[in-house]
Structure 1
């Protein structure tokens, strides 16, 4: 097992290097010049030359990339080109917000997706399964930004039940913090719940047709025990790793939801940075998200090895 885990780690390292190169190069091809925004309205040539020298913008791209990687290896992600605030500080402020939103969305997705997948598998060929499949298809098809706007109009504007936008940290008010994220977490969870439902249904159908399930039924084991103790236990093995991967997608895919609900997380941070041509912030945030996604993929591989004994000796 340790050999397999080590192999996954060795694969993750060059992947992270490749991602860092892509993040750096894609940022450079964006239109616009950040120096023009930093130099002010007068755009004094002397000031612009100073800024280009300060941020190594006159150096060749390989030299810029090497300097950037060197800073990262020393724990320095640079400073915002507009506010001069360290990128690490910005990430430290925004990461808890997006992490809380993602965890709440995953909780909603687990509550909605896994039980509906189990029910759809047990009631195969009935109207219940058809309804679950239609709901899953709707969850994957409805745009999150459209659903967010509709919920704001109905729940916040007309019913006055939940805040329409904003965010309150958990350290200030736990209940109000949860209330501000209930709607965005629900919106963000629907597509994930749909994927979980379909995968859970497929895994449960395969497990319910296995020999050990037929043997348990032949012995007179009650139906709920057959489903929950025998079939579900084995069907959950691929679901565990899928949840880890989907959590990475939540961290990276909350951009639109955070914009709609004006949540000051990673999504709003990177959108503002792109519009302002703030290279350092974009590079730091995207690299952080990519590193987190790679780490979650590695965790998914490790969890699959842990929950599947057959892989431990391969």
Structure 2
């Protein structure tokens, strides 16, 4: 297993370098000049020249990129052009918020999507199957921002069961933090659960038609044991892939959901940075999201080995 992990890490290095180059290059294509905001209303040419020299904006592209990459490798993502706060500090402040939202959303999606997919596959062609497919299609079709607004109006305003917006760190008040994040995580989980349900159903139908499943049934094993112990275990491979990719997507920031519920996570951070052309923040957040995607793919590879022991000894 260690060799497989090291091999994946070696592949991840050039991927990260390519991502960093693309991110740094695309920043230069954004219209406008962020230094015009920093220079104030008068925009003194001497002040602009000083700022360009300070942030090395007059250097050639490759010099700027290598200098930025060297700083990133040493843990320095630069400073926000708008607030002057180190980007690493901003990421450290916003990442736990998005992590909590992503974890709660993916847990809810797994608790809803996988059982629904298994039940739909086992009862193929029955009203239960049709109902599960209708619910899954609805979950994919309903926009997150619309569902979030409806939940706020009904659950928070009319029923007054959960807070409508805001964020409370779990270190301050754990129960209140869960209550605050429950609605936004459910909004995100609806679409994720629909994807997981459809993939689980397809994988289970494929596995249930296999010869070894028919053999297990012929041996007189209980249907519950056949479905859970034999079929579901072998159907988990594509589900693991989808789950890790969905979690990596959530780490990039659920922009609309965070905006609707006023959650200070990655989504709000990157939106504000793009609008203010805060290059350093955008670069740091996108690079951090790319690292998250690569890490989740590594987790998926490890889970493959755990689920399927035959992969521990590749030919």
Q: TM-score of the superposition, structure 2-length normalised?
A: 0.96
Q: How far did 1:68 drift?
A: 0.4
The CA deviation string for residues 55-106 of structure 1, in whole angstroms up to 9 with x for no partner, is 0111111111111001011110001111111111110010000000000001
Separation of aligned partners in 1, 2:296 and 2:284: 18
Answer yes or no: is 1:137 the counterpart of 2:153.
no
Contact 2:98 2:253 survives alignment (8 Å):
no
Q: Partner residue of 2:109?
A: 109
Aligned positions of 1:264-303 closer than 5 A: 264-303=264-303
C-alpha deviation, 1:3, in angstroms? 4.2
1:242–1:300 CA contact under 8 A, matched in 2: no
Equivalent residues of 1:12, 1:298 under 8 A apart: no
Query: RMSD of the alignment, in Å?
Result: 1.4
In the alignment, does 2:218 pair up with 1:218?
Answer: yes
1: distance between equivalents of 2:298 and 2:166? 33
TM-aligned CA deviation for residue 304 of structure 1: 1.6
TM-score with structure 1 setting the length = 0.96
- Residues 238 and 304 of structure 1 are in contact (CA less than 8 Å); yes or no, is this contact kept in structure 2? no
Partners of 1:10 and 1:138 lie apart in 2 by 41
CA distance in structure 2 between the partners assigned to 1:7 and 1:88 by the alignment: 28
Q: State how far apart, in whole Å, the 2-side matches of 1:311 and 1:254 are.
A: 34
Alpha-carbon spacing, 1:253–1:127, altered in 2? closer, same or farther (3 Å):
farther
1:16 maps to 2:30: no
> Contact 1:144–1:256 (CA<8 Å) still a contact in 2?
yes
Kindly state the Cα deviation for residue 144 of structure 1 after the two structures are TM-superposed.
0.8
Match of 2:49 in 1: 49
Is the 8 Å Cα contact of residues 78 and 280 (structure 2) preserved in structure 1? yes
Offset of residue 252 of structure 1: 1.7
Structure 2 residue runs of 5 or longer lacking an equivalent are none
Post-superposition CA distance 1:132-157 (Å, at most 9, x none): 11111111121111111111111112
- The C-alpha deviation readout for 1:205-228, integer Å capped at 9, x for no partner, is 122112222122222222212211
Q: Name 1:172's counterpart in structure 2.
A: 172
Q: Which residue of 1 aligns with 2:259?
A: 259
In 2, the alpha carbon distance for the partners of 1:233 and 1:66 equals 47
1:121 maps to 2:133: no
> Match of 1:202, SS?
helix
In structure 2, the residue corresponding to 1:136 is in which secondary structure? helix
How many residues end up aligned between the 2 structures?
Answer: 314
